[in-house]
A = this chain, B = another copy of it.
């Protein structure tokens, strides 16, 4: 289970997290601050919150937003079912916002109820959606031991110092320096003391918590080498990258549910086989039933792609059952689910044609399920010539993969033909 009861943190410490989300996103060049930009339909901040919240040993997640975005943030928490979050009003700079977030654990004025002060507090960014439990645990452990710790990455470009005349003063030796990334973690008392001691100048112009604890608490943070996915969404291209990475992550597994009569069993077998070379396949050869625990397990195992193979002309009833099951899980809440209804036809009738009524029906159905974040597409596999069967099935698998990888909401309700 992803969302278990609070577990025990590495080292047995109590841990909470503060996510500053007050930035204005100027570098992104849009009107919406980047933490509220939608990726696969969901605001970026929700991904970062989820990344923290799903770690069972993190107790509270404090999201600090600028006052004008408090309601937006509360709506996001409600809509995506976030459970551990407290929203706090930020200050005018990053440091002031983080300080406000920390006060929730120490001073009464900032929250209706004082939250349990954690031994270690994580500071992470609302615009770093891909942080894994592993690196968070490492940083927390290091913070417990050293008082402070932060993830680092190698520098991508050489760093140079410019002189007053706009010319090169000197370049830094790249190997000696690192980019300071997130997450960082601190003994709560240490970081809180640093914020209490620091000057207005620090609060207004500084950005680096590691620097504050070094300056005011003489704590040299432990640096922890992080993975490439810790990067911060800064520019529009980073939003594109985040979108592609999420689509990639959602395209790892497909569940193929086959319900066809004897004569079509071969196709029902060949299609999952053809898909297996490109994606992990869970094949179910039976009629759908609401009590099917195998399917329930697949759904709760975070499968976001379903292919229903059948030989009926219009199998909307069968798909409806699956839609109902998905709706009861929280899967389509967090990510769009792809559902492809595959219709097999091996009639040797050359005048086969697709009627407009069928098309209108699947479109109407798809428009309804889209509101539930389930993207329904139709696919017709026509295999009159047994010699071309394998080729047709391969072409169907290619179309299925394209629909899964793209998750294009504009193409829902269309009927593709393999």
Residue numbers in B under 8 Å from A398 (CB-CB): 410
Check if A207 sits within 8 Å of B355, measured CB to CB.
Answer: no
The chain B residue with its CB closest to the CB of A224 is B166
Chain A residues engaging chain B, CB cutoff 8 angstroms: 27, 146, 148, 150, 152-153, 155-163, 166-172, 174, 176-181, 207-208, 210-211, 214, 220-223, 228-229, 231-232, 234-235, 237-238, 240-245, 350-356, 359, 363, 382, 398-399, 401-402, 406, 408, 410-411, 414-417
> Out of B178, B207, B237, B399, which one reaches A162, CB within 8 Å?
B178
A399 to B208, CA, bound (A): 46
> Out of B214, B242, B354, which one reaches A168, CB within 8 Å?
B214
A416 to B413, CA, bound (A): 10
Check if B156 sits within 8 Å of A234, measured CB to CB.
Answer: yes
Count of chain copies: 2
A408 to B179, CA, bound (A): 37
Looking at the assembled complex, report how far the CB atom of A407 sits from the nearest CB atom of chain B, in whole angstroms.
Answer: 11
> Out of B171, B237, B402, which one reaches A408, CB within 8 Å?
B402
A208 to B158, CA, bound (A): 7
Beyond the given pairs A162-B178, A172-B177, A359-B417, 6 more chain A to chain B contacts, judged by CB atoms under 8 angstroms and listed by A's residue number, are A158-B180, A160-B178, A161-B177, A169-B220, A228-B237, A351-B355
Check if B410 sits within 8 Å of A399, measured CB to CB.
Answer: yes
> Out of B166, B181, B401, B406, which one reaches A406, CB within 8 Å?
B406
Check if A228 sits within 8 Å of B235, measured CB to CB.
Answer: yes
In the assembled complex, 11 residue pairs joining A and B whose CB atoms fall closer than 8 Å, in A order, are A27-B228, A150-B168, A158-B207, A160-B180, A162-B178, A168-B222, A171-B211, A231-B237, A243-B244, A352-B355, A411-B416
